[in-house]
A and B are shown apart, each in its own frame.
Chain A
């Protein structure tokens, strides 16, 4: 079963907070391989992490 973008957005976020299971990672990778919007989303969250680390410097 393919994940929806909505499910992917939650998993991408949780992936920054906990170690995802093997099944989750495989499904995530399959979806990201074909979805520009979700790939952008993941890059944006990575960027947020970097920006927040520098906040107040």
Chain B
């Protein structure tokens, strides 16, 4: 029992980093991790037979993160600018063509084996507005359906698509500049 507790506690720094990336709020991240560790210690039997403690803990944490995002959404309204796709107008010319066309990234899969790539990706995610980033992570990282994400964030599905579009446009540009062109 003591070993299990030590192992679980040892994952705290990782979980905190993970939660901070998604919640953008240190206190909220610490609360979510604390809840996760408490739930994990109470539910040790749920772990029995599973091979990877981190994966199991992260699974619990994801639920706590979505709970927190739902609470945050109730307390804050969407910034008007976050739902407005107009700021990408500069990327296109008057006829709607790319001002600067997206480049061929070659075989980008090679980057997936590199720690530095994920550091660059996290840095790019950190530059997104909070709700944009949260919507994107719920969609692409947690794999939630758009309808669920809209519900958690308290926005319409059109807003959801705009948030996801904004996130993808900004991330691809950020990665192109900071990773693939380097």
* Contact surface of A with B, Cβ cutoff 8 Å: 4-7, 9-10, 13-14, 16-18, 36-38, 40-41, 43-45, 47-56
Which of B1-9, B35-43, B66-74, B139-147 is found at the contact surface with chain A?
Answer: B139-147
Q: Are B104 and A55 in contact (CB under 8 A)?
A: no
Instruction: Check B172 for interface membership: any CB of A closer than 8 A.
Output: yes
Interchain CB contact (< 8 A) of A40 among B104, B121, B122, B137: B104
Interchain CB contact (< 8 A) of B139 among A17, A38, A40: A17
Instruction: Using known A-B contacts A5-B96, A53-B141, determine if residue A13 contacts B165 with beta carbons closer than 8 Å.
Output: yes
Instruction: Using known A-B contacts A40-B102, A44-B105, A50-B112, determine if residue A4 contacts B96 with beta carbons closer than 8 Å.
Output: yes
Question: In the bound complex, what is the Cα–Cα distance between A48 and B170 (angstroms)?
Answer: 11
Instruction: Using known A-B contacts A53-B141, A54-B112, determine if residue A13 contacts B101 with beta carbons closer than 8 Å.
Output: no
Distance in Å: Cβ of B176 to nearest Cβ of chain A: 8
Chain B: CB-nearest residue to A50: B112
Chain B: CB-nearest residue to A41: B102
Question: In the bound complex, what is the Cα–Cα distance between A51 and B60 (angstroms)?
Answer: 21
Instruction: Check B118 for interface membership: any CB of A closer than 8 A.
Output: yes
Q: Which residues of B contact A56 (CB under 8 A)?
A: 18, 21, 58, 141
Interchain CB contact (< 8 A) of B161 among A7, A18, A37, A52: A18
Q: Which residues of B contact A48 (CB under 8 A)?
A: 140, 168, 171-172, 175
Instruction: Using known A-B contacts A7-B96, A55-B121, determine if residue A13 contacts B108 with beta carbons closer than 8 Å.
Output: no
Question: In the bound complex, what is the Cα–Cα distance between A56 and B172 (angstroms)?
Answer: 19
Distance in Å: Cβ of A49 to nearest Cβ of chain B: 5
Instruction: Using known A-B contacts A40-B102, A40-B104, A52-B140, determine if residue A45 contacts B92 with beta carbons closer than 8 Å.
Output: no
Question: In the bound complex, what is the Cα–Cα distance between A37 and B102 (angstroms)?
Answer: 5
Instruction: Using known A-B contacts A4-B96, A40-B102, A44-B105, determine if residue A55 contacts B141 with beta carbons closer than 8 Å.
Output: yes
Distance in Å: Cβ of B99 to nearest Cβ of chain A: 10
Residues 81-111 of B, flagged 1 when their CB comes within 8 A of A and 0 if not, give 0000100100110011110011111001101
Instruction: Check B169 for interface membership: any CB of A closer than 8 A.
Output: yes
Instruction: Check B23 for interface membership: any CB of A closer than 8 A.
Output: no
Distance in Å: Cβ of B49 to nearest Cβ of chain A: 21
